Amino acid sequence: MEVKLVSVPEAIPAKAYTTERVGISKATHDNHLTLWKGYANKTNEIRKALAEMTIDPAAANQIYSQIRALKVNYAFAYGGLINHNVYFETIGGEGGAATGNVATLIDEAYGNFDRFATEWKATGMGSRGWVFLGYDHDEQRVGIYAGDSQDTFPTWNHTLLLAMDVYEHAYYLDFQTARMKYIEAYMQVIDWNSVNGLLKK
Ligand SMILES: [Fe+2]
């Protein structure tokens, strides 16, 4: 069985380093790259393991089994890759209020940008790993979602437009435990052009 592999990120996109102007440092990004690569490598490792495995439905077990370990950890690995792909693609911009079509969608869903920004920040303080902006293809609306890890809590038929990493590795080096300071900094470097690019796709 042919295994389709993901490409492993080789570097942080150059524009992401401009976040140094708000205190999100090069050292943070360089360390983050190691983790980002890890999600890609483990995605590929699990894809290969599944393809090569002799699958016996009688051996599958919900408490522990090889298939369970591979399936559960695949969601974490591939989810982690996609979350970081979007994180690094959508930082290094001018920040501030949203622009373009995504601004229209945010206004439709939240009334105005300030209301959106308030809920975004609160979700960042209230979740353990991520804040996501997803476009719901069924309702044709954007929504803010909390994520406690790489594989929670998004739902189906959404396109991920924006992902803010609030795991401590994303900010501890620069802001220690002051997560709100990191969130405020992050909001000054969102690249709304890239977010609109993802929306178009
Ligand atoms: Fe991360």
Instruction: Assess if residue 14 is contained within a domain.
Output: no
Dist. CA 35 → ligand 1 center (Å): 7
pLDDT digits (tens, 9 = 90+) for 128-138: 999 999 999 99
Dist. CA 169 → ligand 1 center (Å): 6
Question: Is 153's pLDDT higher than 90?
Answer: no
Selection from 154, 144, 160, 170 nearest residue 195 by Cα: 160
Q: Tell me the pairing of strands 141-147 and 158-165.
A: unpaired
Dist. CA 65 → ligand 1 center (Å): 28
pLDDT at position 157 = 96
Domain count, the chain: 1
3-class SS string, 102-167: HHHHHHHHHCCHHHHHHHHHHHHHHCCCEEEEEEECCCCEEEEEEECCCCCCCCCCEEEEEEEECC
Largest CA distance in the chain: 57
Dist. CA 32 → ligand 1 center (Å): 6
Q: How confident is the model at residue 96 (pLDDT cuts 50, 70, 90)?
A: very high
User: What gap in Å lies between CA 153 and CA 130, rounded to an integer?
Assistant: 9
CATH number at residue 49: 3.55.40.20
Instruction: Assess if residue 139 is contained within a domain.
Output: yes
Dist. CA 60 → ligand 1 center (Å): 32
CA dihedral 15, 126, 32, 97 (to 10 degrees): 0
pLDDT at position 129 = 98
Instruction: Assess if residue 4 is contained within a domain.
Output: no
pLDDT digits (tens, 9 = 90+) for 27-63: 999 999 999 999 999 999 999 999 999 999 999 999 9
Instruction: Assess if residue 98 is contained within a domain.
Output: yes
Instruction: Assess if residue 16 is contained within a domain.
Output: no
What integer is the mean pLDDT of 62-70?
A: 98
Dist. CA 57 → ligand 1 center (Å): 35
Instruction: Assess if residue 102 is contained within a domain.
Output: yes
Dist. CA 191 → ligand 1 center (Å): 18
Backbone angles phi and psi of 64, in degrees to 5: -155, 130
Dist. CA 28 → ligand 1 center (Å): 10
Dist. CA 96 → ligand 1 center (Å): 22
Instruction: Assess if residue 15 is contained within a domain.
Output: no
Dist. CA 24 → ligand 1 center (Å): 13
For residue 111, the enclosing domain spans 24-201
Dist. CA 178 → ligand 1 center (Å): 17
Dist. CA 86 → ligand 1 center (Å): 11
pLDDT at position 154 = 83
Instruction: Assess if residue 13 is contained within a domain.
Output: no
Question: Is 171's pLDDT higher than 80?
Answer: yes
